[in-house]
Amino acid sequence: MYTSKISGLGYYVPENVVTNNDLSKVMDTNDEWIQERTGIKERRHVIKGDGDTTTTMGVKAAKVAIERSGIDKDDIDFIIFATLSPDYYFPGPGVLVQRDLDLKTVGALDVRNQCSGFIYAISVADQFIKTGMYKNILVIGSELHSTGLDMTTRGRSVSVIFGDGAGAAILSRSEDNSKGILSTHLHSEGQYAEELALIAPGMGKRWVTDIIQENDPNDESYFPYMNGQFVFKNAVVRFSEVIMEGLKTNNLDVFDIDMLIPHQANLRISQYIQQKFKLDDDQVFNNIMKYGNTTAASIPIALTEAWEQGKIKEGDTVVLAAFGSGFTWGSAIIRW
């Protein structure tokens, strides 16, 4: 059986920086309130008409990852695209990436696991490579949140959190079993699905003709809903559990972690986990302060930045972990 390794990383974020003070001009909020609750100082939002979509941002991140991997784009065997904000209801963005990168007629899979999407996508890619089916898989996490947020005081508890961006990784086959992805661990708990959700537009909500006829501006089901405190309480528990699950599977302990990259949901969650595991600042990477929560894109963006800054070195034990809507959560243990 083969091992899969990350051979290339890349990310892209829109140039438009939206600060907390910028948000205070369109809703009743302020910088202190946002930073105290989330740790976020600014985020990136696309500008209408600039051409940035979930797919195009993913393509830009992918081009960087491909170049850094040293492979030719025609060496890519498969595409996995994780997002909750596809360009179209269908088809998904995976096939759009295949078209925009002018790749061969390789398979394209879309993953809808929200904040855990990149972990799920990495896990799927890892299995395909380990079993010998594919040699090089392009994995993308990309989100365009800003066009679907309630940018008023009514929606401030959710809208101040999210940003736009994309990250990508190339997973490649390796015969060195001492390095690469050691294991992945995935979980879900659907009984809490509605605690963090976007109910509409969903085929189970109502007939499309009813939506058009009613056109109700007060229908909040078209905006994301989050039971913040409940999500926080579950997140800190599941983060801890799934990290420990991954470590124990590989006969590792907390002190073996060289770099923990958690999904950038809330800086307070990351700080809680860091304190619980007694990790130093140089063992945990956070960038939510700059980008907000970019959902499926947050881990690949953070992973890329950590690597670019020299915080991840060959031989390091790198732990990725995520928790989010579904509820779903997961982890990946990597020997770099």
Would you tell me how many other CB atoms lie within 10 Å of the CB of residue 111?
A: 25
**Identified catalytic residue from 113, 136, 266, 293:** 293
**Identified catalytic residue from 263, 266, 286, 287:** 263
Would you tell me how many other CB atoms lie within 10 Å of the CB of residue 53?
A: 21
Instruction: Round to whole Å and give the CA distance between 142 and 205.
Output: 26
Tokens encoding 188: 């879900």
Active site residue 145: no
Active site residue 293: yes
- Overall size of the chain counted in residues: 336
Instruction: Round to whole Å and give the CA distance between 24 and 150.
Output: 14
**Identified catalytic residue from 113, 115, 136, 185:** 115
Active site residue 263: yes
Catalytic residues: 115, 263, 293
